[in-house]
Structure 1
């Protein structure tokens, strides 16, 4: 039952995000109210993913060596950095068209490396597939990309500091709610 709930959560996440890309006329008809509908669908999808992941019987598909935790953490630091790059519109954002989705993909790959269970594959593999398809759909819809303007160099430093800070905060919360993400004991 948990696996089915998890699959429904991932499917709802993808469907809510794809709605604008796959049915733009219908989404436009909904106006501002459509944002609320999508937000509620996304919230429900997250709840379903959490409940489904926790309920699913862990079926081990592979085991990972201990050092893979460090590879995962590097990918997550990259993910946080790419989110900061997007928010601050740094010069790296001039080179990467979709920094948030690139960061999301790094997050998903990192988790796939260390979570070798069926529910991990469904959750992180499904979300990775969503991010890849999202980039494809966005690029098809908006073939002309205007690079953001040149940014001051301090923004890169701020993105790095922000990524490190978020990594520590989210890592601590992750440790409270689930496994300690930094290796060793908490």
Structure 2
């Protein structure tokens, strides 16, 4: 689980650097941005490797039957929220933190269907990180709302969401975790 925790730290700390750094102008330097992106990428790789290395463990809790369906619904919403800003959805000026909200929903969705210690550590940590980021951003100052989005942006986002969801589901099926079973072992 050490590799998993190291991966989580390499995700969380670079993301928090921007919020907590006393000299925020450093984030404007391309070298710093590249280094932060590199650390985050290494963190993701280590999380995947560490998560896969943990192997079978006794559950801390047993997911309720049928939670796979709730997971699938929350995942669709989560992926949609990730695309709100990029697609300029009509929600862009209504939700201050669409990506972080999507991340929180992603974490909750996975906690609904995974009760093993590695899942609780990974998804729980990333869910807590998303909430902490939202709090830190809110404390930094008032929200400067972006220009309103468009219905065309929503259509683009919906198409992108369905494509990405399909790819994620395919990867999960290939890894032996079919998200369409409704109940997971």
TM score, norm. by length of structure 2? 0.90
Using the TM superposition, give the Cα deviation of residue 155 of structure 1 relative to its aligned residue in structure 2, in angstroms. Answer: 1.9
User: Matched residues in 2 for 1:30 and 1:96: separation?
Assistant: 25
Structure 2 residue corresponding to 1:47, chosen from 45, 48, 51: 45
Between stretches 67-76 and 51-60, larger displacement belongs to 51-60
Between stretches 151-160 and 12-21, larger displacement belongs to 151-160
- State the superposition RMSD in angstroms: 1.8
Match of residue 11 from structure 1: 9
Contact kept in structure 2, 1:56 and 1:119, CA below 8 Å: yes
CA deviation map 1:118-159 (0-9, x unaligned): 000000000001111111111222x22122222332222222
User: Matched residues in 1 for 2:7 and 2:15: separation?
Assistant: 12
Contact kept in structure 1, 2:6 and 2:46, CA below 8 Å: yes
User: Matched residues in 1 for 2:41 and 2:25: separation?
Assistant: 18
Contact kept in structure 2, 1:89 and 1:148, CA below 8 Å: no
User: Matched residues in 2 for 1:109 and 1:73: separation?
Assistant: 11
Distance 1:53 1:27, change over 3 A: farther
Between stretches 64-73 and 146-155, larger displacement belongs to 146-155
Structure 2 residue corresponding to 1:167, chosen from 165, 168, 176: 165
CA deviation map 1:41-89 (0-9, x unaligned): 1122112211211122423111223310000000000011111212112
Where structure 2 has 5 or more consecutive residues not aligned to the other structure, the ranges are: none
Distance 1:10 1:66, change over 3 A: same
TM score, norm. by length of structure 1? 0.89
Using the TM superposition, give the Cα deviation of residue 107 of structure 1 relative to its aligned residue in structure 2, in angstroms. Answer: 0.6
Distance 1:41 1:157, change over 3 A: same
Contact kept in structure 2, 1:59 and 1:119, CA below 8 Å: no
Classify the secondary structure of the residue corresponding to 2:23.
helix
Classify the secondary structure of the residue corresponding to 2:178.
coil
Structure 2 residue corresponding to 1:22, chosen from 17, 20, 23: 20
> Could you say which structure has the higher helix fraction?
1
Distance 1:98 1:29, change over 3 A: closer
Classify the secondary structure of the residue corresponding to 1:92.
coil
Match of residue 143 from structure 2: 145
Runs of 4+ in 1 over 4 A off after TM superposition: none
